[in-house]
Amino acid sequence: MSLFRPRSNFKKEQVKSGIPEGLWVKCPICGEIVYKKELERNLDVCPKCNYHFRLNFKKRIDITFDEDSFSPLFEDLKPDDILEFKDTKKYKDRIKEDQEKTGLLDAAVSGTGMIEKIKAAAVIFDFSFMGGSMGRVVGEKITRTFKYGIEHKLPVIIFSSSGGARMQEGIFSLMQMSKTIAIIAEYNRTDLPYISVLTDPTTGGVSASFASIGDVIIAEPKALIGFAGPRVIEKTIHQNLPEGFQRSEYLLDHGMIDMIVERKDMKNMLKNILSIFLNV
């Protein structure tokens, strides 16, 4: 069962009304119809309800790191179909399609960059690649990034956006949960900061592992954060959930995250946190 709400019929409505497709975007939270260029000027944030739309890895890098300072790491890592998994499609075909669609080899990018002249290592998820799901490549990139942070004495930041573990890789995907937690335990002995930034959505095995154990846990406004989705929980416990359940604001009220930071303020907040931890 999907963790996310059903897709809107807005595109079909556009075609029927004669509105050129791609000019307008419907906010999934408040339903506001927003001019796409206006949305982009506003850092992909809904001007009515402040919902932060999902960003691809390129936009995330552009708004987070100093210009031309981001250098990718571990670019040679790519997924393979060791289980020869097939549902309605072969896994290897799904990989190929998303690689062509996104320009990525897998759902996360690793690298180093400067944030207001402070160097940090980072992992950035891209939800458009198989729902940002975590398989062996993503787990390995996270592990290598923390090892790189240890070796080069760098803070680590992870921007999560994921539906969770990648089912097409079975137990090999679930193993990445313990693998990433183990390397973070090793990293913690350095006293370097690990900052976890939760964006919409951060769910499943990602929320239940590395995303929830940062020294500082930040969320973007109205991000869906949790293990199972609210509809799955309601059907399981047969009870209605509280208003805003599993959104950033609810988690902050219940002490599960440290702060909510708007996208326009994120770079400056990261700089301030890193300055405090690193005493620079």
36 and 60, same domain (yes or no)? no
Per residue in 49-105, pLDDT (tens digit) is 999 999 999 999 999 999 999 999 999 999 999 999 999 999 999 999 999 999 999
89 and 27, same domain (yes or no)? no
Per residue in 145-196, pLDDT (tens digit) is 999 999 999 999 999 999 999 999 999 999 999 999 999 999 999 999 999 9
Phi, psi torsion values for 86, nearest 5 degrees:
-145, 130
213 and 84, same domain (yes or no)? yes
147 and 200, same domain (yes or no)? yes
C-alpha–C-alpha distance, residues 194 and 197, integer Å: 10
The yes-or-no verdict on residue 257 having pLDDT over 70 is: yes
Alpha carbon 143 to its chain centroid, in Å, reads 16
C-alpha–C-alpha distance, residues 217 and 211, integer Å: 8
29 and 62, same domain (yes or no)? no
120 and 222, same domain (yes or no)? yes
Of 9, 35, 51, the one marking the end of a domain is 51
41 and 63, same domain (yes or no)? no
Structure confidence at residue 215 (pLDDT): 98
More confident residue, 159 or 13: 159
The yes-or-no verdict on residue 144 having pLDDT over 50 is: yes
pTM of the predicted model as reported, rounded to 2 decimal places? 0.90
82 and 105, same domain (yes or no)? yes
Structure confidence at residue 41 (pLDDT): 95
C-alpha–C-alpha distance, residues 83 and 225, integer Å: 29
Angle, CA 23 vertex, CA 22 and CA 28 arms, to 5°: 75
Domain that holds residue 227: 54-278
62 and 124, same domain (yes or no)? yes
The domain that holds 65 is classified in CATH as 3.90.226.10
265 and 186, same domain (yes or no)? yes
DSSP-derived secondary structure for the chain: --SSPPPPSHHHHHHHHTPPTTSEEE-TTT--EEEHHHHHHTTSB-TTT--B----HHHHHHHHS-TT--EEE-TT-----TT--BSSSBHHHHHHHHHHHHS-SSSEEEEEEEETTEEEEEEEE-TTTGGG-B-HHHHHHHHHHHHHHHHHT--EEEEEEE--B-GGGHHHHHHHHHHHHHHHHHHHTTT--EEEEEEEEEEHHHHTTGGG--SEEEE-TT-BEESS-HHHHHHHHTSPPPTTTTBHHHHHHTTSSSEE--HHHHHHHHHHHHHHHHT-
In angstroms, the first-to-last Cα distance of the chain is: 47
Among the listed residues 195, 164, 166, 201, the one whose alpha carbon sits nearest the alpha carbon of residue 54: 201
Among the listed residues 232, 261, 265, 234, the one whose alpha carbon sits nearest the alpha carbon of residue 249: 261
90 and 148, same domain (yes or no)? yes
* Amino acid at the residue 93: D
Identify the band that residue 10 occupies on the pLDDT scale cut at 50, 70 and 90.
very low
Residues in the chain: 280
Of 16, 33, 51, the one marking the end of a domain is 51
Structure confidence at residue 20 (pLDDT): 59
Q: Provide the β-strand partners of residue 248.
A: none
Q: What is the total count of domains within the chain? A: 2
Which percentage of the chain shows pLDDT scores above 90?
A: 86
Q: Provide the β-strand partners of residue 160.
A: 198
16 and 95, same domain (yes or no)? no
Mean pLDDT of 195-217: 97
Residues with Cβ within 8 Å of 151's Cβ and at least 6 positions away in sequence, in order, are none
